[in-house]
Amino acid sequence: MAAVANARPSKEFFVGMLTRDIDLQDAILDLIDNCIDGVHRQIAKRPPKDRERPFKGYHASLNISKSTFSISDNCGGIPRTVAEKYAFRLGRPADMKAEKLPTVGLYGIGMKRALFKIGRESSVTTNHEGSIFRVAVSSDWLDDDDDWQLPITNLSQKTAPESVRGTHGTYIQVNQLYSGISHDFDNQKSQFLLRLASTISTHYSFIIQKGFQIQLNGEVIKPAVLGLLQSDPKMPKDQRIDPFIYTTNRNGVDVDLVIGLYRRLPTPEEVEQELEGQGATGNKEQCGWSVICNDRVVVYSDKTRLTGWGEAGVPAYHPQFIAIAGMVRFHSTDAGKLPVTTTKRGIDASSDLYLTVKDIMREGLKHFTNFTNHWKLDTKQRDALIQSASAVKPFSAKLAVKQGEWSDVRKGLGGKKFVPNLPRPPKTRDDKVSIKFRKPPNEILLVSEFLFDRDDMSPDSVGEACFDRILARASK
Ligand SMILES: Nc1ncnc2c1ncn2[C@@H]1O[C@H](COP(=O)(O)OP(=O)(O)OP(=O)(O)O)[C@@H](O)[C@H]1O
Ligand SMILES: [Mg+2]
């Protein structure tokens, strides 16, 4: 009798578990993430000349139809040893060295999970510095519990598919699509590809702005760009609209936060329409907080407690705040330090780093919700203020802040912040407030006689006359 019990995983169960909880869209984004991680490895070897657009010249092209899925890139390819030892393992081995690059790959699962999610037959063909090979996953392999190895086939320039022939890059193809996936990929039956295009344009907005190109079925995807209003530094200090900014570096993570206005404040009619759900489409899409980890937008335009709305003295989202947008960026060469969830499409709300930054997010947000409270009335002056400011790239806003305008942050993660001195509307007659107090009737009567030589004046008039007398003396 054998002295061991068989604990080998059943492949069907394992693959099922792996793919069950991942959304199809997130699985595809994992493949795009791998391309961008590839670019980081490339530019670490050959630093780009254009520092503003370091990803220029690199691309990922997706071709998706109801019968097949493919993604090809020119991001350097997979080295042979990496393919043999690591890239196809289900989970990153413990002895793998950290790369010290601003990548997001961490668990060693993304690529395989995406392939298994989409179809029963796939292949990864890659050209790394001229070494070309293919790793194939067949449906027979998926059915075989005993086979945990994948064949590698060497290819030559002649036999390689065109997309990796003269290019150092990777070509992934998936066939035998699962029927639900095939349905989602069918433009006639589903909106999936439209949604995917829009998610790519928001989630990779910074990466695309840095020069990376993403194509979906031949269309180049444009980045969703948002500018924050900042006044010309020559404007008088008390009439400037500037974003609130915070920046720090702690334990190998750079944190940059910026929040401000990205459009004019809404008119009362607009607020009304939004409340009734009749607002223009896309109106409130950009407002709220976005969180960015190593250039990937992991939370987009959030208006919930996750980003500090409706807690600790900050009002819950309301259309009055539709003009407010904020962004927090975390950057690290150690992906494990980023406060992202395991799917990398959300923030780990319990991370200490995130919770500490969230205190500052709330402070900045409150600054702007208060501002909109003061400027609820749709006046010419309000319009003029907003028009005097122009849209700037959110993370460039700090360049306009002068040395002496920063203040040190002592608690939390330290660092420095710029708190804008936002304008208040001038006081008008309508700004009067009431003073209320209670006094015994006989005392009011006495004061009435003293002031007016009669004892039947109303308590209001008596109180007001007292105030006016003292005001006259105080103003001398
Ligand atoms: N398009 C690509 N270009 C270059 N290398 C790639 C590409 N796709 C995958 N790889 C290599 O394959 C490895 C495995 O990818 P996979 O997505 O499964 O895991 P990961 O990126 O390391 O971690 P995570 O599960 O967090 O994404 C990558 O680390 C990388 O070395
Ligand atoms: Mg990955």
Is the CB–ligand 1 distance for residue 256 below 6 Å? no
| In the chain, where the domains are located | 11-220, 240-418, 434-474
Ligand nearest the Cα atom of residue 87 = 1
pLDDT digits (tens, 9 = 90+) for 90-133: 888 888 888 889 998 888 999 999 999 999 999 999 999 999 99
Is the CB–ligand 1 distance for residue 111 below 6 Å? yes
Interhelix angle 459-474/441-452, rounded to 10 degrees, is 60
Q: What is the number of the ligand 1 atom nearest to the C-alpha of 60?
A: 1
Distance 35 CA to ligand 1 centre (A): 8
Using an 8 Å Cβ cutoff, are 302 and 289 in contact?
yes
Q: Does domain 11-220 have CATH number 3.30.565.10?
A: yes
Q: CA torsion 133→138→140→141, rounded to 10°?
A: 60
Going from the C-alpha of 338 to that of each of 39, 58, 277, 298, the distances in angstroms are 19, 25, 36, 11
Is the CB–ligand 1 distance for residue 115 below 6 Å? no
% of the chain with per-residue pLDDT over 90: 71
Is the CB–ligand 1 distance for residue 26 below 6 Å? no
More confident residue, 385 or 28: 28
Is the CB–ligand 1 distance for residue 103 below 6 Å? no
The DSSP 8-state label assigned to residue 303 in this structure reads -
138 confidence band (pLDDT: 50, 70, 90): very high
Using an 8 Å Cβ cutoff, are 292 and 327 in contact?
yes
Between CA 204 and CA 36 the distance in angstroms is 10
The DSSP 8-state label assigned to residue 323 in this structure reads T
Is the CB–ligand 1 distance for residue 34 below 6 Å? yes
476 confidence band (pLDDT: 50, 70, 90): confident
Distance 43 CA to ligand 2 centre (A): 18
pLDDT digits (tens, 9 = 90+) for 185-214: 999 999 999 999 999 999 999 999 999 999
What is the reported pLDDT for 282?
Answer: 66
What is the reported pLDDT for 75?
Answer: 97
Between CA 166 and CA 179 the distance in angstroms is 35
More confident residue, 7 or 127: 127
More confident residue, 416 or 238: 416
Ligand 1: residue of 37, 101, 135 to mutate (most ligand atoms within 8 A of CB) is 37
Write the residue with the smallest CA distance to atom 9 of ligand 1: 34
Write the residue with the smallest CA distance to atom 28 of ligand 1: 87
> Which H or E run contains 372?
helix 352-374
Ligand 1: residue of 21, 82, 111 to mutate (most ligand atoms within 8 A of CB) is 111
> Which H or E run contains 45?
helix 24-45
Between CA 214 and CA 197 the distance in angstroms is 10
426 confidence band (pLDDT: 50, 70, 90): confident
Measured between alpha carbons, how far apart are the two ends of the chain, in Å?
Answer: 108
pLDDT digits (tens, 9 = 90+) for 258-290: 999 999 899 888 888 888 888 776 667 889 999
What is the reported pLDDT for 262?
Answer: 95
Q: Does residue 428 have a pLDDT over 70?
A: no
User: In the block, which residue shows the tokens 């036999």?
Assistant: 159
Ligand nearest the Cα atom of residue 58 = 1
What is the reported pLDDT for 289?
Answer: 97
Between CA 283 and CA 270 the distance in angstroms is 10
Q: Does residue 36 have a pLDDT over 90?
A: yes
% of the chain with per-residue pLDDT over 70: 98
For 161-194, give one letter per residue: b (16+ CB within 10 A) or e.
bebbbebbbbbbbbeebbeebbebbeeeeeebbe
Between CA 316 and CA 435 the distance in angstroms is 31
What is the reported pLDDT for 178?
Answer: 96
What is the reported pLDDT for 116?
Answer: 96
Class of the domain covering 240-418: alpha beta
Q: What is the number of the ligand 1 atom nearest to the C-alpha of 344?
A: 26
What is the reported pLDDT for 281?
Answer: 67
DSSP bridge pairs for 327: 258, 290
Q: Does residue 228 have a pLDDT over 70?
A: yes
435 confidence band (pLDDT: 50, 70, 90): confident
Ligand 1: residue of 28, 30, 32, 34 to mutate (most ligand atoms within 8 A of CB) is 34
What is the reported pLDDT for 279?
Answer: 75
Using an 8 Å Cβ cutoff, are 213 and 103 in contact?
no
- Three-state secondary structure call for residue 151: coil
